[in-house]
């Protein structure tokens, strides 16, 4: 039985999500090309392994050769100083879109982040049509990636699904994690919808499961027909009683960015 793609590229394959996704993509492509700047181990059946520094334009061009679609999970995945974010998340995403444009790749799935909207309050209901409000340098870098991918759609017709990924870990220990939790099975389903839905153009969707108390409204991406089957309700018993999001005093409880409000630029949060 033929698969939708001949060769699918997964960047960031040595990262936390990349490692968990590695074995879940083989139904989508004859070959899954894995790439990261870090060691990924040997290639398994139906895999290729390509080491690549996203900040190196020539390496990125080679990484993207003969690829039909890209799952871009590469780059720095947390709040930190600006310099490494500049190299991996800003220069890196420019290099990626230059490469896919030159090589004729027509579909990218961009792993964006909920931290593009982290300065909205936990009492706000947010959709993708609202202005971005990043909570730090990391969020800013993802806003840049969303904007760049939009430009490549508008000018060159390269389709992109930007997924503002929530908290994608097996367990939850805080109220924020319960609200933003994304189960791995749901993430795989969302990636499938992002890759297989025809004519996506440029769209932003929220990567989140069917959790109680959702902060995000995904109606603008409803045509993807993503239907989460998992819920953080099953994890709620493990969350200790304590301050719930929305209570004053700690900005990590007031704003959707959570603990990222204690990282990065040291300026007081305000409204």
Number of neighbours of residue 24 by Cβ within 10 angstroms: 15
Residue positions counted in the chain: 271
SS3 for 123-176 is CCCEECCCCCCCCCHHHHHHHHHHHHHHHHHHHHCCEEEEEEECECCCCCCCHH
> Considering 5, 120, 138, 152, which one is annotated as catalytic?
138
Q: Does the annotation mark 97 as catalytic?
A: no
Kindly list the catalytic residues: 138
């Amino acid at each position: 039985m033929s698969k939708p793609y001949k060769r699918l590229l997964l960047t960031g394959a040595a990262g936390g999500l990349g490692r968990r996704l590695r074995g879940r993509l083989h139904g989508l492509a004859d070959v899954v090309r894995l790439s990261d700047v870090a060691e990924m181990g040997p290639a398994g059946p139906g895999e290729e392994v390509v080491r690549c520094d996203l900040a190196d334009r020539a390496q990125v061009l080679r990484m993207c050769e003969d690829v039909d679609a890209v799952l871009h999970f590469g780059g720095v995945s947390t709040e930190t100083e600006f310099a490494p974010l500049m190299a991996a998340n800003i220069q890196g995403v420019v290099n990626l879109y230059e490469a896919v444009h030159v090589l004729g790749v027509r579909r990218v799935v961009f792993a964006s982040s909920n931290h593009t909207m982290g300065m909205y309050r936990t009492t706000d209901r947010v959709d993708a049509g609202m202005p971005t409000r990043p909570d730090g340098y990391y969020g800013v870098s993802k806003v840049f990636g969303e904007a760049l991918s939009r430009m490549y759609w508008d000018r060159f017709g390269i389709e992109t699904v930007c997924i503002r990924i929530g908290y994608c870990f097996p367990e939850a220990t805080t109220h924020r994690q319960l609200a933003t939790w994304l189960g791995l099975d749901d993430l795989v389903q969302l990636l499938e919808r992002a890759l297989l839905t025809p004519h996506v153009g440029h769209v932003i969707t929220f990567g989140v499961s069917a959790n109680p108390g959702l902060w995000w409204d995904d109606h603008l991406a409803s045509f993807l027909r993503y239907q989460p089957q998992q819920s953080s309700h099953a994890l709620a018993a493990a969350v200790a009683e304590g301050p719930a999001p929305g209570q004053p005093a700690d900005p990590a409880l007031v704003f959707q960015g959570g603990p990222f409000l204690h990282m990065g630029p040291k300026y007081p949060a305000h409204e």
